[in-house]
Structure 1
């Protein structure tokens, strides 16, 4: 396996670990509750935790500070809006953990976050080649 392939896999592993912790261990009840209120500091802080926790990937696949900042900002904006859309739809529909739609929403939310991580990794690979 090439050094680049190892670095790409390491990036994906790091993004998976940080996602697990930011979404399921560090997220506060207030952050969960306020995600559907556009611009609320609790939802913004959750997305910021994700963006900041992604910074170590640039130790694995270095890029310029400008590119790194652009990726971090894009992740923040993407993560925030994916969470906000899921919260708004779930709140409007009144979905709870007992509803299959709740789980479809959660699964779709997580899928979009994972696609964001694949896009970050693909961009880093492309910039490296």
Structure 2
């Protein structure tokens, strides 16, 4: 039971961190930089996600190497997901009032949350 509570605690941390990083901590230059490998916005955004994950992993009692590998993996995966979403949006622009927009947004969020499932599997 204690392990289940620890995993729920880590998941709660990851969900709250995700909300803050995706919806509160994205100024315009970050948003504009996604989808372009030459701009820092996407990298900064992925770094905020990775940095926000680190305290939750530390509190889970993981060693420094595991924390580092998981944070780096999250950075790379998060950047790739956002880059692909931005590239798709550039090729297939959709207004916020369309099903296509919300399907792409939902797929993006699902992939991010499945990343957290992977993190939980490693922590177990």
TM-score normalised to the size of structure 2? Answer: 0.95
Structure 2 equivalent of residue 60 of structure 1 = 59
Q: How does 1:61-76 map to 2 (within 5 A)?
A: 61-76=60-75
Q: Which residue of 1 aligns with 2:119?
A: 120
Cα distance, 1:39 vs. partner?
A: 4.3
Task: State the Cα distance separating 1:31 from its structure 2 match.
Answer: 1.2
Structure 1 alignment gaps of length 5 or more: none
| Preserved CA contact (<8 Å) 1:10 1:60 | no
Which stretch shows the higher mean deviation, 21-30 or 108-117? 21-30
> Following the alignment from structure 1 to structure 2, what is the Cα–Cα distance between the partners of residues 6 and 55?
19
How far did residue 99 of structure 1 move?
2.3
Deviations 1:28-73 (A, max 9, x none): 1221122010242111000000000001112331122111100000
Aligned to 2:86: 87
Q: Distance in 1 between matches of 2:58 and 2:23?
A: 25
User: Cα offset for 1:94?
Assistant: 1.7
Match of 2:19 in 1: 20
Paired with 1:29 and 1:96, the residues of 2 have a C-alpha distance of 18
Question: What CA distance in whole angstroms lies between the structure 1 residues aligned with 2:38 and 2:68?
Answer: 21
State how far apart, in whole Å, the 1-side matches of 2:22 and 2:88 are.
19
Q: CA RMSD in A?
A: 1.0
Residue 97 of structure 2 is matched in structure 1 by: 98
Q: Alignment length, in residue pairs?
A: 124
- Residue 51 of structure 1 pairs with residue 50 of structure 2: yes
CA distance in 2, matches of 1:10, 1:60: 9
Partner secondary structure for residue 111 of structure 2: helix
